[in-house]
Amino acid sequence: MARPKDPLVADVKRIRRKISKRLMEAHRRGRLHEELLSMERQGERVCRDAINGSHNGNGKHRK
């Protein structure tokens, strides 16, 4: 029997498809590593801001 669709996983997959598409386009231009680093830096910054700058993005508290 088919498993019922999980909206949360569907949303994660939507995000992941978007990221995959951008990375594969960069790969074709020979810029995969640079693009991945750039995207990850951006994501890290958003996550840091989301918790009011109380962490530095490496799992360590700021002093």
Partner 1 sequence: MARYKIYPETSFWRRLGDPENPDLRKTSYRFFRSIQSRDRIHISKLVLLELSETPDAEERRHVLKRLWSARPKMVTTSRRAERIALELLSAGGWSEDVFADMLHVSYSMLSEVDALVTWDHGDLAREHTRKIVQAYGKRQRLSVPLIGTPEEVAEWLGLKIR
Question: From the CB of 29, what's the least distance to partner 1, in Å?
Answer: 14
Say if CB 22 and CB 34 are below 8 A apart.
no
**Which one of residues 8, 29, 30, 63 is an interface residue with partner 1 (CB under 8 A)?**
8
Best CA proximity match to 22, nearest among 10, 9, 38, 44: 38
Answer yes or no whether residue 31 interacts with partner 1 by CB under 8 A.
no
The three-class DSSP label of residue 31 is coil
Residues 44-63 as x/- pattern, contact with partner 1 by CB under 8 A: x-xx--xx---x-xxxx---
Angle, vertex CA 24, rays to CA 21 and CA 29, nearest 5? 130
Q: Which residues here bind partner 1, judged by CB under 8 A?
A: 3, 6-9, 11-13, 15-21, 23-24, 27, 32-33, 36-37, 39-44, 46-47, 50-51, 55, 57-60
